[in-house]
Amino acid sequence: MIAWTIYLTFGGAVLLLVLPRAFARWIALLATVAGLALGTVAFVSTPIGDLAHFTTIVRVPWVPALGMNYHLALDGVSLTMVLVTGISAVSTVLFSWDVEHRQNEFFFWLLLVVAGCYGVFLSADLFLLFVFYELVIVPKYFLIAIFGSTNKEYGAMKLTLYSFFGGMFVFVGILVAYVAGGSLDLNQLSQFEFSPQLQSWVFPVLFLGFAVLAGIWPLHTWAPTGHAAAPTAGSMLLAGIVMKLGSYAGLRVAMNLFPQGFQMWSKWIAVLAVIGIVYAAAVALRQRDLKFVIGYSSVSHMGFVLLGFATANALGVSGAVLQMFSHGVIAALLFAVAGRMIYRRTHTRELDALSGMNLSHAMPFAAFAFVVAAAASMGIPGFSGFAAEITILIGAWKNYPIAVWIVGAGMVLVAAFTLRAVKLSFFGEKSVQGEVTTVTMLNPEEFNPITIPEKIGACMLMLTTFAVGVYPKLLLDRIMPAIETMRFLK
Per-residue pLDDT tens for 438-470? 444 554 444 567 788 888 989 999 999 999 989
Which letter does DSSP use for residue 64 in this model? Answer: G
What is the C-alpha to C-alpha distance for residues 118 and 83, in angstroms, rounded to an integer?
Answer: 10
C-alpha dist (Å) from residue 4 to 7, 248, 333: 5, 20, 26
Q: Per-residue pLDDT averaged across 70-93, rounded?
A: 90
Concatenating the DSSP letter of every residue in 320-382 gives HHHHHHHHHHHHHHHHIIIIIIIHHHHS--BHHHHTTT-HHHH-HHHHHHHHHHHHHHHT-TT
Q: Which of 54-58, 146-150, 172-176 has the lowest mean pLDDT?
A: 146-150
Per-residue pLDDT tens for 383-401? 888 888 888 989 888 888 8
* pLDDT at position 208 over 60: yes
Q: Per-residue pLDDT averaged across 326-344, rounded?
A: 86
Are 306 and 247 a contacting pair, CB within 8 Å?
yes
Q: Which of 27-31, 198-202, 318-322, 485-489 has the lowest mean pLDDT?
A: 485-489
Are 78 and 118 a contacting pair, CB within 8 Å?
no
Q: Per-residue pLDDT averaged across 152-169, rounded?
A: 84
Q: Which of 363, 361, 356 is nearest to 338 (CA)?
A: 363
Residue, of 179 and 427, whose pLDDT is higher: 179
- For 372, counting Cβ atoms within 10 Å of its Cβ (0-12 exposed, 13-18 middle, 19+ buried), the class is buried
Residue, of 94 and 240, whose pLDDT is higher: 94
Which letter does DSSP use for residue 15 in this model? Answer: H
Per-residue pLDDT tens for 271-325? 998 998 888 888 888 888 888 888 888 888 888 899 999 888 888 899 999 999 9
Position 34 scores a pLDDT of 92
* pLDDT at position 244 over 70: yes
Q: Which of 24-33, 140-149, 391-400 has the lowest mean pLDDT?
A: 140-149
Position 446 scores a pLDDT of 46
Q: Which of 84, 75, 144 is nearest to 114 (CA)?
A: 84
Per-residue pLDDT tens for 97-142? 887 778 888 889 899 999 999 999 998 888 899 999 888 888 888 8
Cα 65 → chain centroid: 35
Position 432 scores a pLDDT of 44
What is the C-alpha to C-alpha distance for residues 466 and 225, in angstroms, rounded to an integer?
Answer: 29
Per-residue pLDDT tens for 125-135? 888 999 998 88
* pLDDT at position 342 over 50: yes
pLDDT band at 490 (very low <50, low <70, confident <90, very high): low
Q: Per-residue pLDDT averaged across 325-337, rounded?
A: 90
72-97 burial, b if ≥16 CB within 10 A, otherwise e?
bbbbbbbbbbbbbbbbbbbbbbbbbb
* pLDDT at position 487 over 50: yes
Position 447 scores a pLDDT of 58
Position 86 scores a pLDDT of 92
* pLDDT at position 150 over 80: no
pLDDT band at 379 (very low <50, low <70, confident <90, very high): confident
* Average pLDDT along the chain: 84
Range picked from 250-259, 334-343, 349-358, 408-417 for highest mean pLDDT: 250-259
What is the C-alpha to C-alpha distance for residues 341 and 449, in angstroms, rounded to an integer?
Answer: 9
